Amino acid sequence: MRVAAVAASLAVAIAALPARAAEPQPYRDPDHYFQIALGDRWSPTEPGAGPEQLLLARAASDGRALAVARVAYPNPRRRDRDYQKQIEAGVETAARGYHRLSHKISRAGYVVVIDVTYRRDTDDGREVVASRFLLFRTFTLILSVTTPARSWRHQRRATQRLLRSFVPYFADSKDD
């Protein structure tokens, strides 16, 4: 009898717990070999001026914006550290008021992954940009997420989760 009472009270306690938020379903683009976990807060937006191969543009209600672009540039030296440093040097040259916050190089299978987070000046003030470069042999995919600098402290973890979810995706016959 005592076990039944404990089990019943446990069932009531579990039912009273708030529902855990479901993990966002990944957005998959098998034609361009990437996936990213976008939640409901990201809505499609019209891209402004940008690279010709802009694949995805989204905006969030919290002021963040993201874009995924494909650059058709061969990366035969993608595993060379000097080559990888040149990529960040290019970002530094292009970003007015560049100040690096973090930099990490890793791999996802045979794809080299470079994460760069930096603060830059804009016409509207300052913003933080978190970028992930996926270096394939014949092209590069780039995710960039911009966040107003004043809200970076509150958005940092969510943005880093988003960056980590941007990975190579190779569809296999099971997914078709």
pLDDT tens-digit map of 126-174: 999 999 999 999 999 999 999 999 999 999 999 999 999 999 998 764 4
Q: Which helix (H) or strand (E) holds 143?
A: strand 140-148
pLDDT of residue 11: 46
What are 151's two structure tokens? 């809200």
What six digits make up the tokens of 13? 């306690």
As given in the structure block, the two tokens for residue 72 are: 């058709």
Q: 12 lies in a domain?
A: no
Find the domain containing 110 and state its range.
25-171
Q: What share of the chain is helix, strand, coil (3-state, %, to 5)?
A: 30, 40, 35
In this prediction, residue 170 carries a pLDDT of 84
pLDDT at 151: 93
Domain-located, residue 150: yes
**CATH code where residue 81 lies:** 3.40.1000.10
Look at residue 17 and tell me if it is in a domain: no
Q: Is residue 18 part of a domain?
A: no
* Tokens describing residue 22: 């479901």
Output the DSSP codes for 109-163. Answer: TTEEEEEEEEEEEETTEEEEEEEEEEE-SS-EEEEEEEEEGGGHHHHHHHHHHHH
Does residue 94 form part of some domain? yes
How far, in Å, CA of 68 to CA of 58, rounded? 9
Domain-located, residue 14: no
Domains held by the chain: number: 1
**By the 8 A CB rule, do 106 and 133 touch?**
no
* pLDDT at res. 51: 60
Query: How far apart are the C-alpha atoms of 94 and 100, rounded to whole Å?
Result: 13
Rounded CA separation 167/155 (Å): 20
Q: 139: which DSSP letter?
A: -
Q: What integer pLDDT is reported at residue 176 of this predicted model?
A: 37
The answer to whether residue 10 is domain-embedded is no
Q: Which residues of the chain have pLDDT under 70?
A: 1-24, 47-52, 172-176
Query: What does the pLDDT look like over 161-173, one tens digit per residue?
Result: 999 999 999 876 4
Say what the pLDDT of residue 22 is. Answer: 56
Residue 1 is given by DSSP the state -
Question: Token digits for 79?
Answer: 């595993």
Q: Is residue 176 part of a domain?
A: no
Residue count of the chain:
176
